Amino acid sequence: MGRAAVVLAGVALVLGLLAPARADHMGQPSGAAGDDLRRTPVVRAVQAVSPAVVNITSARVEEREVNPFGRLLDPGMISPLLRDFFGPQGKRRVTRTSLGSGVIIDGAQGLVLTNAHVIAGATEITARLLDGRQFQAELVGADPDFDLAVLRLAEARDLPDVPMGTSADLLMGETLIAIGNPFGFSHTVTTGVLSAVGRTVRTEEGTFTDFLQTDAAINPGNSGGPLLNLHGQLIGVNTAIQQGAEGIGFAIPIDKARRVVAELLDHGFVSHVWLGLWGQDVDQATAGYFGLPAPRGLLVTAVQPGSPGARAGVAPGDVVLKVGDYDVQDKEHYLQLLRNRTRGETVALTLLRGGEAVHLAARTEPFPADMAPELVWQRWGLRMGPASGRGLAVREVRPGSPAAALGLAPGDVLARIGGVGLAAPADLAGAFVRYRLRNSLMLVVWRAGRAYYTRLNV
């Protein structure tokens, strides 16, 4: 009796000690030990960062023609005869909303980083946090060339924010985490790996370089949301997906985003940079002369004195073949590659000079806006000034210039150059730095109370 009781008591004691680690009815560990196994680095990162992720709703007011058939017919399917029969129906103002994501980068100031296309054209921006709090947001600054925007949440204080990482030491194949608002499903978490760095993506808006590529699921509504490493650090801003593909998403590296954010906070915009090179496309005959297998690159025709290109040693007659790691296709592509750079970056240039490859390094500088009026005079033949209404007024036309050949005259008003509207002299500098190498420019000119579309050949 005594010995049997001791054995049974010992068994009971052992079973009691093991009880917290017993398997549940599904065969899985339970209690603290099970929780520790489930709390993977991904889980810890998501729990730490999710409170700083916001769902963004952008509202924009649009005018639409009234459809006399209501919902029975699409307005585009109504024949002109029927539209004439019913007469003018007028327009109505409707509010259209779109969804996106963002991440709080400064909780003390309520600053949110997102994509510029998420809030483009918005008349009202609302941000909702994981805990249900909702804030109206105001735009601090945005730049479509980098597709980044900074918002400030009104009356927000002491918010959670995301720790910043770096995109300089990323490892191919390392696990990444995306959090966002795809299709309105708030705070959706997806995981994947880093598939590639330095990707170039061409869209209707232009060429974007230096993207991170990941196979973490990114869908409409994820734009502007964070891409995280396993430490829960922000290493990218989710931006785009490859249409028609699965598992191919792109993000802006955080190192580039931080430079853009700094300029947006300091100035409200990102300065256009330049190297001071003037040039032209390489045609077939020129390619043959230089021994190039195909027409590509920028043939340098002049270098602005005192510019970054001049200090780096670029000379007329050089052919710019690469900017950084990217092959230059033509002069427009060269400008697009520079538009993805910020001030103070060191850019590696690969040149063809005398049949040999030459490698130089130039440090980008903001385009000198105070030089724009003189450069516009030299290149296009125009002196401009404020107009009483819209646009900029033509004050003087240089004889023999492209503007003179077009027939522009003092008193004309330029409302737009290419895609840049002209409301102030600073807009002229922006238009010039964007289109300075173009051979042809589309202008909107007001004369005698009427607007004309015309082309300036340079």
Q: Are 322 and 386 within one domain? A: no
**For residue 165, what pLDDT is reported?**
95
Residue, of 156 and 171, whose pLDDT is higher? 171
Local structure of 438: helix, strand or coil: coil
Q: Which of 98, 223, 271, 307 is catalytic?
A: 223
Strands 319-323 and 298-303: antiparallel
Cα distance between residue 366 and residue 361, in whole Å: 17
**For residue 106, what pLDDT is reported?**
96
Question: Which of 221, 238, 267 represents a domain boundary (last residue)?
Answer: 267
Answer whether residue 324 is part of any domain: yes
317-367 confidence digits (pLDDT tens): 999 999 998 899 999 889 988 888 888 999 999 999 999 999 999 999 999
**For residue 1, what pLDDT is reported?**
45
CATH code at position 390: 2.30.42.10
> What is the arithmetic mean of pLDDT over 220-233?
94
Strands (E), 364-432: 365-366, 382-386, 392-397, 413-417, 420-421
Domain count, the chain: 3
Q: Are 251 and 308 within one domain? A: no
CB 410 within 8 A of CB 382: no
Answer whether residue 14 is part of any domain: no
pLDDT of residue 297 exceeding 70: yes
Cα radius of gyration (the chain): 29
Nearest alpha carbon to residue 165 among 152, 149, 177: 177
Q: Are 262 and 182 within one domain? A: yes
Q: What is the DSSP string of 247-276?
A: S-EEEEEHHHHHHHHHHHHHHSS---EE--
35-83 confidence digits (pLDDT tens): 678 899 999 999 999 999 999 999 887 665 655 555 555 555 555 555 5
Least confident of 172-181, 239-248, 283-292: 239-248
Q: Are 359 and 394 within one domain? A: no
Q: Are 221 and 241 within one domain? A: yes
The total of other beta-carbon atoms located within 10 Å of residue 112's CB is 30
Answer whether residue 106 is part of any domain: no
Is 267 noted as a catalytic residue in this protein? no
Answer whether residue 388 is part of any domain: yes
- Crossing angle of helices 425-435 and 372-379, in 10° steps, is 50
Cα distance between residue 418 and residue 403, in whole Å: 15
Answer whether residue 169 is part of any domain: no
Q: Are 436 and 385 within one domain? A: yes
Q: Are 263 and 281 within one domain? A: no
**For residue 5, what pLDDT is reported?**
43
Is 169 noted as a catalytic residue in this protein? no
> What is the arithmetic mean of pLDDT over 240-263?
87
Residue, of 4 and 458, whose pLDDT is higher? 458
Query: Residue 390's beta-bridge partner residues?
Result: none
pLDDT of residue 440 exceeding 60: yes
Answer whether residue 199 is part of any domain: yes
Is 223 noted as a catalytic residue in this protein? yes
Nearest alpha carbon to residue 304 among 443, 432, 455: 432
Residues found in the chain: 458
Cα distance between residue 41 and residue 55, in whole Å: 24
> What is the arithmetic mean of pLDDT over 126-142?
94
Q: Which of 50, 58, 117, 210 is catalytic?
A: 117
Query: Backbone phi, then psi, for 380, in 5-degree steps?
Result: -105, -20
pTM of the complete model:
0.74
Which domain range does residue 412 map to? 369-457
The CA-atom distances, in angstroms, between 380 and each of 133, 240, 327, 336, 368 are: 53, 37, 29, 21, 17
pLDDT of residue 11 exceeding 70: no
Q: Are 180 and 262 within one domain? A: yes
Which range among 100-104, 157-161, 207-211, 431-435 has the greatest average pLDDT? 100-104
Q: Are 244 and 288 within one domain? A: no
**For residue 399, what pLDDT is reported?**
96
Q: What is the DSSP string of 49-107?
A: HGGGEEEEEEEEEEEEE--TTTTSS-GGGS-HHHHHHH----EEEEEEEEEEEEEEEET
Q: Are 233 and 277 within one domain? A: no
**For residue 13, what pLDDT is reported?**
34
Q: Are 437 and 373 within one domain? A: yes
**For residue 201, what pLDDT is reported?**
80
Answer whether residue 418 is part of any domain: yes
Answer whether residue 213 is part of any domain: yes
373-426 confidence digits (pLDDT tens): 999 999 999 999 988 878 999 999 999 999 999 999 999 999 999 888 998 888
Question: Which of 245, 267, 289 represents a domain boundary (last residue)?
Answer: 267
CATH code at position 228: 2.40.10.10
Question: Which of 218, 242, 267 represents a domain boundary (last residue)?
Answer: 267
Nearest alpha carbon to residue 271 among 338, 204, 333: 338
Q: Which of 147, 161, 281, 427 is catalytic?
A: 147
Q: Are 306 and 327 within one domain? A: yes
Q: What is the mean pLDDT of the chain?
A: 86
